[in-house]
């Protein structure tokens, strides 16, 4: 239900905006006393990727610049016994990469340490996260035709997830890749497993894929069209509840549309980064993945569903 309710809110918001009027106004905000360090760190158990920590800064709200990369930091991750240093790659990018082959293990607790100079002062930050055992098993991904002839859309699919939610309470973060790249307009979704309730998960809708038409209409030039033979991979990460809370807070503050009927009190999203003026999160998470090859627009299984 979570997805549908989010969509429901979005539709309500659109309806309200359509019924009202808007205008851009000049608002004076007082700006920040000091700049923040923003940490975007994820440590997984995947060996097919390099572990990464992205460091950026913050800017005053109406400052036109994009937040700068934070370069020259010392970034290290420790499992309590050994410490690995991350290397900024490429230099000046603020992207710090772990050594080849380095990954986490479910059950392990990992501590991220950052030493960096911001605003001319030396700052020290720490964050810890415990990698939980995977809470989701036997993952499969498939897609179903969801278009309607009257909509004049060449093809529109709903991607759904199958699998088994294990008995322990878990929270999930889902993202996806198309072939070797992060899927454009990627799905990043956090799910409370109360929606699965320790049961077999059948046909949990995750996102919508479109080949042309609607996708282009909605996303313009940034849309990448699916082609036959594309490999779509879904990653289901088991995340700590704290990261789930962070993610939901982040979504709330990133939407930022202050529609009184549906917006709660604005506040900073939570963080597990210890140290002054810090935002973002460092999370250790185990993963399960499943792939599907886009073979034909309308698959036989769904013909039956649609009554063809």
Partner 1 sequence: MNIRRLILVATLLLLAGVLPAVAQKIVLSGYVREAGSGEPLNGAVVFTADMKTGVSANSAGFYSIEVAAKEQVIKCSYAGYTTAEFTITPKGKNLKHDFLLEEDREMLEAAKVFSKSKREQLTLPQLGKETVTADIIKKVPALMGEADVIRVIQMLPGVQTPSEGSTGFSVRGGGIDQNLVLMDGAPLYNSGHFLGFLSMFNGDAVKNAQLYKGDFPASFGGRLSSVLDVSTRDGNKNKFEGNVSIGLITSRAAVEGPIVKDKLSFMLAARRTYMDVFFPIFGKNIPKNTQMYFYDINGKLSWVASPRDRVYLSVFSGRDVFGMSMEDFDLDKMKFAFANNTQTLRWSHEFSPKLFFSATAYNSRYKGGVDGAMSVASWTYTSALMETGLKTGLTWYINSSNTLQAGIDAAYHRMDPCDVSPEGEESIVQDVHLQRTYAVAPAVYVQNEQKIGPLTLRYGLRAGTFTTLGEADQKYYDPETHDLAETVHFEKGEAIKTYFGLEPRFSASFSINPDLSLKAAYSRSFQYIQQVPISISGSPIDAWFMSSPNILPQISDQFSAGLNALFAGQALEFSAEAFYKNNANTMDFKENPGLVFDDAEREGLLRFGKSYAYGAEVMLRYEFNRLSGWLGYTFSRAIYDIPELNGGKPYRSPLNHEHSVNFVLSYDITRQMSLSADWVFYSGAPTTFPVGRFSYGGTYASLYSSRNEDSMPPYHRMDLAFTYKDRRRAAGRPGGCEWNLSLYNAYSRHNAWSLAFLYNRMEEKPQALKVYLFTIIPSLSFNVYF
219 sits near partner 1 (criterion: CB under 8 A) = no
Q: Which window, 111-119, 124-132, 148-156, 229-237, contacts partner 1 (CB under 8 A)?
A: 148-156
Task: Please give the residues from 154 up to 193 whose contact with partner 1 meets the rule CB under 8 A.
Answer: 156, 158, 188
Q: Quick check: 148 binds partner 1 (CB under 8 A)?
A: yes
* Segment lying near partner 1 (by CB under 8 A), choices 11-19, 44-52, 120-128, 130-138: 11-19
Question: Any contact of residue 203 with partner 1 (CB under 8 A)?
Answer: yes
DSSP codes of every residue in 101-136: T----TT-EEEEEEEEEETTEEEEEEEEEEPPPP-E
State which of residues 92, 101, 149, 266 lies at the interface with partner 1 (CB under 8 A). 266
Q: Which of residues 127-146 bind partner 1 (CB under 8 A)?
A: 144, 146
**Residue 6 Cβ, how far from partner 1 at the closest point, in Å?**
8
Q: Based on the shown chain and the rule CB under 8 A, indicate whether residue 245 belongs to the binding site for partner 1.
A: yes
Q: Under the criterion CB under 8 A, does residue 119 sit at the interface with partner 1?
A: no
- Rounded CA gap, 73 and 60, in Å? 22
Q: Give 46's Cβ-side CA count (13 Å radius).
A: 16
Q: Closer to partner 1 at the Cβ: 83 or 306?
A: 306
| First-last CA distance in the chain | 28
Q: Least Å distance between CB 263 and partner 1?
A: 6
Site for partner 1 in 31-60 (CB under 8 A): 31-32, 35-36, 38, 40, 56-60
* CB of 7 or CB of 124, closer to partner 1: 7
- Over the Cα atoms of the chain, what is R_g? 21
| Residue from 106, 108, 198, 205 in contact with partner 1 (CB under 8 A) | 205
- Provide the residue count of the chain: 308
The two three-digit tokens of residue 60, written as one number: 């005053």
Least separation in angstroms between residue 239's CB and partner 1 is 14
One of 108, 270, 275, 297 touching partner 1 (CB under 8 A): 270
Sorted by sequence, the CB contacts under 8 Å of residue 231 that are 6+ apart come out as 178, 179, 291, 292, 293, 294
Of 47, 62, 133, 303, the residue at the interface with partner 1 (CB under 8 A) is 62
Binding residues for partner 1 restricted to 87-116, rule: CB under 8 A: none
Which 3 state secondary structure label does DSSP give 38? strand
Minimum CB–partner distance for residue 301 and partner 1 (Å): 13
Work out whether 226 is an interface residue with partner 1 (CB under 8 A).
no
- 223, 269, 292, 298: which one contacts partner 1 (CB under 8 A)? 269
Q: Are strands 37-44 and 278-293 parallel, antiparallel or unpaired?
A: parallel
Number of residues that bind partner 1 (CB under 8 A): 82
305: contact with partner 1 by CB under 8 A? yes
Question: Do 230 and 293 form a contact (C-beta atoms < 8 A)?
Answer: yes
The CA distance from 159 to 156, in Å, is 10
- What is d(CA 76, CA 111) in angstroms, rounded to the nearest whole number? 8
Does the protein bind partner 1 through residue 151 (CB under 8 A)? Answer: yes
CA distances to 82, 176, 266 from 293, rounded to whole Å, are: 40, 13, 42
Near partner 1 by CB under 8 A: residue from 212, 216, 233, 263: 263
Looking at residue 183, what DSSP letter applies?
A: P
Distance CA 129, CA 173 (A): 15
Counting Cβ atoms within 10 Å, is residue 266 exposed (0-12), middle (13-18) or buried (19+)? exposed
């Amino acid at each position: 239900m979570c997805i549908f309710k989010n969509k429901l809110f979005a539709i309500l918001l659109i309806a309200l905006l359509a019924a009202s009027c808007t205008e851009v106004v000049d608002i004076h905000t007082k700006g920040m006393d000091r700049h923040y360090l923003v940490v975007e760190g994820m440590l997984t158990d995947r060996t097919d990727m390099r572990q990464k920590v992205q460091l950026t800064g913050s800017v005053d709200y109406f400052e036109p610049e994009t937040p700068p990369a934070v370069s020259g930091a010392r970034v290290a991750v420790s499992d309590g016994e050994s410490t690995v240093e991350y290397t900024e790659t490429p230099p000046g990018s603020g992207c710090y990469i772990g050594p080849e082959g380095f990954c986490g293990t479910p059950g392990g607790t990992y501590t991220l340490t950052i030493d960096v100079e911001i605003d001319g002062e030396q700052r020290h930050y720490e964050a810890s996260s415990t990698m939980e055992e995977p809470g989701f098993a036997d993952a499969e991904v498939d897609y179903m035709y969801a278009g309607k002839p009257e909509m004049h859309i060449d093809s529109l699919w709903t991607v759904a997830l199958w699998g088994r939610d294990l008995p322990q309470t878990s929270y999930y973060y889902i993202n996806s890749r198309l072939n070797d790249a992060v899927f454009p307009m990627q799905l990043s979704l956090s799910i409370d497993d109360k929606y699965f309730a320790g049961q077999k998960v059948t046909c949990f809708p995750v996102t919508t894929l479109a080949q042309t038409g609607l996708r282009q209409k909605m996303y313009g030039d940034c849309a990448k069209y699916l082609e036959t033979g594309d490999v779509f991979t879904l990653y289901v990460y088991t995340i700590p509840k704290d990261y789930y809370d962070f993610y939901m807070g982040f979504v709330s503050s990133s939407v930022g549309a202050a529609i009184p009927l549906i917006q709660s009190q604005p506040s900073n999203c939570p963080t597990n980064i210890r140290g002054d003026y810090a935002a973002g999160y460092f999370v250790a998470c185990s993963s399960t993945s499943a792939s599907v090859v886009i073979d034909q627009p309308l698959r036989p299984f769904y013909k039956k569903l649609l009554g063809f």
